[in-house]
């Protein structure tokens, strides 16, 4: 998200980095369901859109080490 923050500070516009572009840099992303990554991307996009339209504060970083764990995916062909 630091690249998105820097891009916003320099241009004042929104930039979303896709999970597919990050898979080459971060090998652990290849272990995760692609639909879960796309859902996470949609959540980030929604939070930044709300921020840019002045409906919410700047999105906060949420650590994967906190006690609240969550996983969101889509049901495809009746299997997860």
- The model's pLDDT over 20-60, given as tens digits with 9 standing for 90+, comes to 777 888 888 888 887 888 888 888 888 888 988 899 998 88
Q: What is the DSSP letter of 52?
A: H
pLDDT digits (tens, 9 = 90+) for 49-77: 898 889 999 888 777 677 677 777 888 78
Domain assignment of residue 77, given as a range: 1-80
CA distance 61 to 78: 33
CA distance 18 to 73: 17
Handedness of CA 5, 11, 15, 17 (dihedral sign): negative
User: Token pair for residue 53?
Assistant: 């339209």
Q: Is 15 helix (H, G, I), strand (E, B) or coil?
A: coil
Domains in the chain, number: 1
């Amino acid at each position: 998200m630091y690249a998105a923050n820097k891009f916003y500070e320099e241009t004042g516009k929104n930039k979303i980095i896709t999970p597919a572009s990050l898979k080459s840099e971060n090998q652990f992303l290849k272990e995760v369901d692609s639909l879960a990554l796309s859902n996470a991307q949609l959540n980030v996009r929604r939070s930044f859109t709300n921020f840019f339209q002045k409906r919410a504060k700047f999105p906060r970083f949420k650590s994967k080490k906190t006690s609240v764990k969550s996983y969101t995916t889509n049901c495809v062909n009746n299997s997860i």
